[in-house]
Amino acid sequence: MDKRIYIIAALAVLAVILTVIRESGGMQSEPMSLPFSSKQDISADRVFTMADTTLRALGIDKKYIRPIKNRNDVRVLYPAKFDVLNFIGAMKDSLDDYNAEVFSVDNAREKTSIVQIKNGDIILKSFIFSKEPVQAVKKGASPSVKK
């Protein structure tokens, strides 16, 4: 027999095997991302809307989210069970398609966490997290009830 027949038969078998593998999903290929694709710019108002929605989804009541007038700062009072890292992770996911980065700094002296959303060197919004004040329980005897 001729060698060309063996080569053609081997190539046909390989083509069938590759077709079966591709159709069965054995070789999953990820969508190609272009390195030159640009991200969208985002406004400070859009960042605030995204953060407000995220905070409310994480259990922060609207009355504890207070924008500071004439500044890009937002004060957020949070309960003891709240974790600021959950907010940071959610915002990073939300801002994935935008020209924005999330930075966080803790201030141990003031017991606050500051999360900044930046576009390059421009701070779009700063979120200043501090714990809700806890009502102090007075020690001693309870007040007597009037009759």
pLDDT in tens, 128-138: 999 876 565 55
Higher pLDDT residue, 132 or 140? 132
DSSP β-bridge partners for residue 27:
none
Model confidence band, residue 18 (pLDDT cutoffs 50, 70, 90): confident
How far apart CA 66 and CA 71 sit, in angstroms, is 12
DSSP β-bridge partners for residue 75:
66, 128
State whether residue 96 is helix, strand or coil: coil
Residue 56, CA distances (Å) to 26, 61, 62, 100, 134 in order: 42, 6, 7, 21, 20
Structure tokens at 146: 């009037």
Structure tokens at 40: 């969208």
Please state the rounded mean pLDDT for residues 58-78.
89
pTM: predicted TM-score of the whole model, two decimal places: 0.63
Left (φ > 0), alpha (ψ -120 to 50) or beta: where does 70 sit?
A: left
- Domains annotated on the chain, with CATH: 44-131 (3.30.460.10)
pLDDT at 33 over 60: no
Residue 10, CA distances (Å) to 6, 19, 20, 26, 27 in order: 6, 14, 15, 21, 21
Please state the rounded mean pLDDT for residues 72-85.
88
pLDDT, residue 17, reads: 87
